[in-house]
A = this chain, B = another copy of it.
Amino acid sequence: MTPSDRDATGLLTRPDHFVQLVSPTGERRADPEYDPWVADVDTDALARLFRDMAIVRRLDAEATALQRQGELGLWPPLAGQEAAQIGSARALRDDDFVFSSYREHAVAWCRGVGPAELLTVWRGSAASGWNPFEHAMAVPQIIIGAQALHATGYAMGQKWEGSDAASIAYFGDGATSEGDVNEAFVFAASFDAPVVFFIQNNQWAISEPVGLQSKQHLARRADGFGMPGIRVDGNDVLAVLAATRIALDRARRGEGPTLIEAVTYRMGPHTTADDPKRYRTDDELADWRTRDPLARVLALLAATGADADALEREVAEEARAAAAELRAAVTTIPDPEPMSVFDHVYAEPNTHLARQRDHYARYLAMYDETDAAASGAEGGAR
């Protein structure tokens, strides 16, 4: 998977290169620098990438529907960003560690996060849905950009331990304006931390276009911090896979961080609470639909002689099943016990919280007693 004769730092020589291996219409574009990194991706492997993307798109739509139906409190759809997420996450090893924002459901899919685990936090049932150490992926980060520093620190630790594993930080175009992200670049470069900074430039930060955050390609931000930056077609799963592999390879070889800007598009609203019609045009959306990440893979597969229709049907079936599983899972998420509100604030006993918890338990018990006494009375305690 690692072309041993290649020096990944060669990518520094073409800072303005826009990496695209598959055109929007599905033509394979030769790129002597990046091609070797996906030489192993045969028709089957490509089909698997398609399968990932199709399933997560379906899951995402299902979750959006679940939110509309009141089963979830909120959902931040990923639609449009499947290639960026699948291409990058499929480049990772199991022992690499992921720090993401709130939109990386496809990354979670690749990390083996299960449907109930995925939905728990969006249902509001618990502070998080999975154990980060089971999936080598931190739970979603909502403070914009904060996770870039966590990934950097984690990578510093990986390096100090002598591991060749890496970490990856996912964040958006808007996040690049936060101090934390820039400080992460500083630390990562200074300590040669094996971290990949993966920007999904989906053109928008809620209602704000990327041009408000930066007048320069975001990948160009890298050079000034002393690391290579790659600008890649984020709707081209193959190109994203190649770019991420190169960056991870650099990390493993002790060459430090890499910044990847995956140019993509958020097809849906920022979250289910958002109405994108207030700030962007239908034309823009239509234009990006012509660059859909799934369609081009199907087209490429068809062009290479694969039975794309059959694949599509097959995968659609799988996706339907996955969606059904997701829908079934949401109702299995247990409602939290009232007293669990106090759990895990501290790892060690805390006298103040113990007292507060005790008092609240008495408060709740009083209601139970009142209820029992006035059994049948309506309107609760009073």
* Bound complex: CA A179 to CA B177 (Å): 9
Chain B residue at smallest Cβ distance from A218: B224
Q: Which one of A106-114, A196-204, A207-215, A282-290 contacts B?
A: A207-215
Contact mask A29-48 → B, CB, 8 Å, 1/0? 00000000000000000000
Which chain B positions have C-beta within 8 A of A213?
186, 190
Main secondary structure of the interface of A (DSSP, over half): helix
Chain A residues with a Cβ closer than 8 Å to the other chain, count: 23
For the complex formed, measure the closest distance between the CB of A6 and the CB atoms of chain B, giving whole angstroms. 22
Q: Mark A158-185, 1 if CB is under 8 A from B, else 0.
A: 0000000000000000001111101100
Once A216-B225, A225-B221, A226-B216 are accepted as A-B contacts, the answer to whether A179 and B183 lie under 8 Å apart by CB is yes
Q: Which residue of chain B lies nearest to A186 when distances are taken between CB atoms in the complex?
A: B177
A341 to chain B, nearest CB (A): 33
Kindly report how many copies of this chain are found in the complex they form together: 2
Residue of chain B at shortest CB distance from A189: B215
What residues on B are CB-neighbors of A183 within 8 Å? 177-179, 182
Q: Which B residues touch A220, using CB under 8 A?
A: 223-224
Question: For the complex, is A222 an interface residue (Cβ under 8 Å from B)?
Answer: yes
Contact of A224 among B178, B179, B224 (CB under 8 A): B224
- A: residues with CB less than 8 A from B are 176-180, 182-183, 186, 189-190, 212-216, 220-226, 229
**17 cross-chain CB contacts under 8 A:** A177-B186, A178-B179, A179-B180, A179-B182, A186-B213, A189-B215, A190-B215, A214-B225, A214-B226, A215-B226, A216-B224, A220-B223, A221-B225, A222-B224, A223-B223, A224-B224, A224-B225
